[in-house]
Structure 1
Amino acid sequence: MTASAKPIPFLDLKAQQVRIAADLRRRLDAVLEHCQFVLGPEVRELEEALAAFCGAKHCVSVSSGTDALQIAMMAEGIGRGDAVFLPAFTYTATAEVPLVLGATPVFVDVDPRTFQIDPVHLATRIEEVKAAGRLRPRAIVGVDLFGQPADWPAIAAIAQRHDLLTIDDLAQSFGGSLHGAMLGTQADATATSFFPSKPLGAYGDGGALFTQSDTRADLYRSLRTHGEGKTRYEVLRTGMNGRLDSIQAAVLLSKLTVFPEELKARERIAQAYDQRLGNAVTTPARVPDSTSAWAIYAILLPDGTTRDRVQGALKQDGVPTAIYYPRPLHLQPAYQAHHDGTAMPQSESLAQRILALPIHPDLTDADVDSICGAVLRAV
């Protein structure tokens, strides 16, 4: 075991709850008092606060990050025969949504150091799909993976050349920035998640969409509520049940009061890892002129055998770890039949070598020392 006085949690929501206890209780009591449990006043307040935080004109809250992606694509009529380009190295939700709508995910390899979608390979993949002629290129989903931003200027330029929609999958990176602007306005539509493990997480599922477009915002609000129009029983289009509940909004409003300080704490821990571990393992490269929300801090080991050995040693030393992701999407059984067979060497290599260390605002200096010491002993 490490020298830490208590077990080191990979994520410590209890410690965070202690810090916001009074404000959290006040907000939850207000929901219990007014009993507007779905799309109550807290939801509207949250949408205004989130839009202001990231500089977006509109925020539309929804029931999950996955539903945010689905609503964004439904609003554009994406479906059968359409190609949606997205990274092979990310969580399954990014790829499953196009398939649910009848579209086809087209996988793109990633940068081996930042883990973000590779714009050069993206451009190649779009040309390949156009040449094959089976699918219509419709959209690019850039995933801001692990807390850092994708290369949005490059993605936007590619999208403009091919007249494609851009969607920012911001599920892991709300609170990050690029070129001095908070993430949330870099794409035509931005979808984020408030799953409890996210840097800004609820106590259940939740998500949001950001857009600068009045038309899109109106569509998102309609689609999240069964396609309704100006009244509850005017149904204008096929929608879904994708509303956020007031209790989750209350939790998020309370967490927003400490969110800026938590982002600073995550950055401080990431810098400590960089300094202590940089000569022993490959630490994550920074995207130039950006800040990270540090949802995940992932080191790289030389190969899968070394990764497994180091992970086992850290477990023995009381340090929890996780693997994001053990298999890239194009090799997942659910997606293999939809993949054209193109190799994704960087994604495949990362899946064998990556290992995530604990990073959350309530790690103490002693915790960080113990984690670094354990990693240095293990490698």
Structure 2
Amino acid sequence: MRVPMLDLSEQYNGLREEIIHTLDEVMGSSKFILGDHVRKIEASVAEFANAKHGIGVANGSDALHIALQACGVKEGDEVITTPFTFFATAGAVARAGAKPVFVDIEPDTFNIDPSKIEAAITDKTKAIIPVHLYGQSSDMDPIMEIAKKHNLYVIEDAAQAIGAEYKGRKVGEIGDAITYSFFPTKNLGAYGDGGMIVAQDDEIAEQMRVIRVHGSKPKYYHRVLGYNSRLDELQAAILNVKFPHLPEWSEKRRERAAYYTELLNAKVPQIKTPVVREENYHVFHQYTLRVERRDELQAFLKENGIDSMVYYPVPLHLQPVFEYLGYREGDFPISEQACKEAVSLPMFPELKAEQQEYVVKKIEEFYI
């Protein structure tokens, strides 16, 4: 049996006629930049996230950078975040001229450990970026309390967590700015790059809108140094077709995650299956295990037609590009251990039960 990490073909086939129709509509309108489709998806995602503003941008990485700039993060500032995340999180901090300051993660959720944040705060700290990794919200209440105490901005990296909830609140209504990615593999994916920021504050939102168009308002009058980062109208049109299906897709991901956990706990109890905090609504962008002999397991699964992925093999504090920060191996042991043990199994709404059963059967065979 072949089990891909992700298969978007079935999703496309179900939406094909509507997608072709809406793309044809955009072509016929000749409105390709910040048109009606962009405005519609901005409004839809903002409402969905219980946020006041939605600002469509070119990609999730730019969303982080623009959010940092709009919150006033600049050269000489420090931003606290996790070393166990995709490069863009800390890359955006460095591109803003600020210094990424890392703190370790919780061993069960893979998210930033709030109990370690306050010790990393200095008089240069300007913001905190919690990452809602794999589709589960970070523990936001203590993070927001620390931010309020020290007058810091909170920019949530929700690239993997659109639709996730924390204590009944949507990821999108808690921090000062929340960033999403619409990369094709995401739970709500375009057919190319795309991103969005949602925010409650009028002034921050206005700054973001100005920054994404070269810092100009009105046109050709530049009061800040921005750059060209707009959500494409064609991608927005595709997202508008997909968006109404997002809640259903999230539920299907949760159902498949629950089935994986049921099977694995029964067949391979020594494996650490994902921990879902009681207060969270986890949307399972990835279904990630902690396992021994991870690389050997991956090779065995591949031999048997099963895809898997490692998110992430090297923590950010040990990446060569961040050598100047002065971190060393052993500084963040939980993140470093996660990089050796974490492996993600195939996960998408159309994943079949027999595919999941086959995956678990082969994992069981490997550990027998």
Q: CA deviation at 1:86?
A: 0.3
Q: CA deviation at 1:376?
A: 1.3
Which residue pairs with 1:70 in the alignment? 65
8 Å Cα contact 2:318/2:327 also seen in 1? no
Alignment of 1:215-364 (within 5 A): 215-229=203-217, 231-278=218-265, 279-302=269-292, 306-341=293-328, 343-364=331-352
CA displacement 1:49-74 (0-9 Å, x = unmatched): 11111111110110011111111111
The answer to whether structure 1 residue 177 and structure 2 residue 177 are counterparts is no
Which residue pairs with 1:25 in the alignment? 20
SS of 2:101's partner is strand
Q: Which moved more, 1:61-70 or 1:274-283?
A: 274-283
CA displacement 1:326-349 (0-9 Å, x = unmatched): 010001101121144471000000
Match of 1:214 among 191, 202, 206: 202
Which residue pairs with 1:200 in the alignment? 188
Which residue pairs with 2:97 in the alignment? 102
Match of 1:86 among 73, 81, 88: 81
Match of 2:32 among 27, 37, 43: 37
Which residue pairs with 2:116 in the alignment? 121
8 Å Cα contact 1:280/1:376 also seen in 2? no
SS of 1:359's partner is coil
The answer to whether structure 1 residue 161 and structure 2 residue 156 are counterparts is no
Identical-residue share of aligned pairs (%): 37
Q: How far apart are the structure 2 equivalents of 1:41 and 1:47?
A: 10
The count of residues paired between Structure 1 and Structure 2 equals 363
SS of 1:226's partner is coil
Which residue pairs with 2:360 in the alignment? 372
Q: How far apart are the structure 1 equivalents of 2:248 and 2:68?
A: 34
> Which amino acid is the alignment partner of residue 315 of structure 2?
P
| TM-score, structure 2 as length reference | 0.96
Q: CA deviation at 1:77?
A: 2.4
SS of 1:153's partner is helix
Q: How far apart are the structure 1 equivalents of 2:366 and 2:302?
A: 10
8 Å Cα contact 1:69/1:169 also seen in 2? yes
Q: CA deviation at 1:161?
A: 1.3
SS of 2:325's partner is coil
- Structure 1, gaps ≥5 residues long: 131-135
- Structure 2, gaps ≥5 residues long: none
Over the aligned positions, Cα root-mean-square deviation in angstroms equals 1.2
Q: How far apart are the structure 2 equivalents of 1:252 and 1:68?
A: 17
> Which amino acid is the alignment partner of residue 96 of structure 1?
G
8 Å Cα contact 2:317/2:327 also seen in 1? no
Q: How far apart are the structure 2 equivalents of 1:335 and 1:15?
A: 40
Q: How far apart are the structure 1 equivalents of 2:343 and 2:70?
A: 37
CA displacement 1:106-139 (0-9 Å, x = unmatched): 011000110010011112222xx45xxxxx0100
Which residue pairs with 1:133 in the alignment? none
